[in-house]
Amino acid sequence: MIGVLNEASGASAEELPFDLKHRRWPITYRLAKKGWLTRLDTYQSERDAVKKGLVSGLEKALRQALAEPKRGAMRADPDAYAARGLWKRLESEWMRNWWERRRNYVQYEDRSTVRRFQEYVRAAEQPELQFSDAVLNRTHEKLVSALSRFLSVGSVEMVADPNPDLLVSTMKDASNRGRHVEDFDARYEAQDATLESTVDGVWAAWNAYVQELKALYPDVIHEEPTPSVFEERGNSTKHEVALAASEAVHALGDTLRKTIDIWRGWGEVPGNHPQVLERLRADVFPPLEALPIARVKAVFGDAAAGPLNLLKAIAETITLGLDIERGSLAGLTEGLRAAAGYYDLETARARLKDLVNLVAEWAGAYLGTASTPIDDKTLTARATKIYEESEAKLKKSAPA
């Protein structure tokens, strides 16, 4: 872009809008409108002189631009391209969700996240996705370094989990499997601290990068979110979101029912009971995280997300129950049930089954397995009825 500015109106190149100041400095000229007292021949002579100077300036600028084919006279456009290309791979909403999740469960990581960070680091090496602005390039290099450290530490401190979608810290894995480790508590805490530092390092570097990006290209970070190149947020159609919800609630329901079955036969569970509790928590965590509540709410609204929120509440009370102080084996079963509110295990199982079936029926209208869709009012009423009826039964069965 070659700017041209007539200063006769009082405008100045110093007063250019923020989104033009980084462009080529404008070619200026000064030519006021002909006044009614100005002689025509005088005005025409002045205009011809200004025109000659303006043509000369434009010719010089065009020659300079043509001397740099495919590069342009500025660095802004290539940097904007790089910013958009990288933002499609990582953006702030996804990063914040990842950081909050990892801070709560630092011992576990999704394999898909590792792959996503690896792809980002590789993409950042492409020449067309590197910044020419020195400050922006420096902050982005720090982000790439933080991601590389996170991946390097994870490759040493984490191993494959029995769940094929997860990685687990080595000390957590030892605890889950009941293996004896010397100085276990100290080593467990040290490993957690190491993993937390890499997670926080990525988050700090990301925030610094976004601040620089926001100053130079606010339009990039404020654009409407587009599907990720990894397609992790790209399933925005009703069919795809309904399918994700149906699959997720079935997986979570199956896991929770198995957990309740373990409680039912707790007295027969052999081995190291604290490790069993950790295993139960580890089993509940992945399907809980997979509930697509935000996507369902964004595509279908609050009513459709209601049953999913109830299932999430059940899962969270179960994990709360698994966190209680571990006392004698005789009192453990009742203590767990009391903490989670499941004095009547059959009622709890029925609530899970009813909610899962309700979501599956709702999703069926969008998957072609049900002919009649459930409207928002009916969906909310049925979810509320399931919850209230089971709560009444659970309260009746609670010990005095």
The predicted model gives 49-59 an average pLDDT of 83
The lowest-confidence range among 29-33, 116-120, 138-142 is 29-33
Per-chain mean pLDDT for the chain: 75
Q: Measured between alpha carbons, how far is 344 from 56 in angstroms, rounded to an integer? A: 90
Helical spans, DSSP H, in the chain:
40-66, 76-87, 92-104, 111-123, 134-157, 170-177, 184-216, 218-221, 238-264, 273-289, 293-300, 302-321, 329-340, 345-367, 376-397
329 pLDDT above the threshold of 70 = no
Q: Which of 66-75, 301-310, 385-394 has the lowest mean pLDDT?
A: 66-75
Compute how many other C-beta atoms are within 10 angstroms of the C-beta atom of residue 199.
21
Instruction: Say whether pLDDT at 374 is over 50.
Output: yes
First to last CA, the chain: 80
pLDDT in tens, 210-232: 999 988 888 888 765 544 444 44
Percent of the chain with pLDDT over 90: 15
Summarize the confidence of residues 51-63 as an average pLDDT.
81
| Region 130-149 average pLDDT | 93
In the block, which residue shows the tokens 């020449």? 127
Cα–Cα distance measured from residue 62 to residue 396, given in angstroms and rounded to the nearest whole number = 85
* pTM, rounded to two decimals: 0.46
Residue 240: is its pLDDT beyond 80? Answer: no
Provide the percentage of residues in the chain whose pLDDT is more than 70: 67
Which of 54-68, 169-183, 229-243, 369-383 is most confident? 169-183
| Mean pLDDT, range 327-356, rounded to an integer | 59
Higher pLDDT, 121 or 104: 121
What does the alpha-carbon distance between residue 288 and residue 312 come to, in Å, rounded to a whole number?
A: 7
pLDDT, tens digit, 9 for 90 and up, residues 198-210: 999 999 999 999 9
C-alpha 78/C-alpha 66 separation (Å) is 17
Is the pLDDT at 347 greater than 80, yes or no?
Answer: no
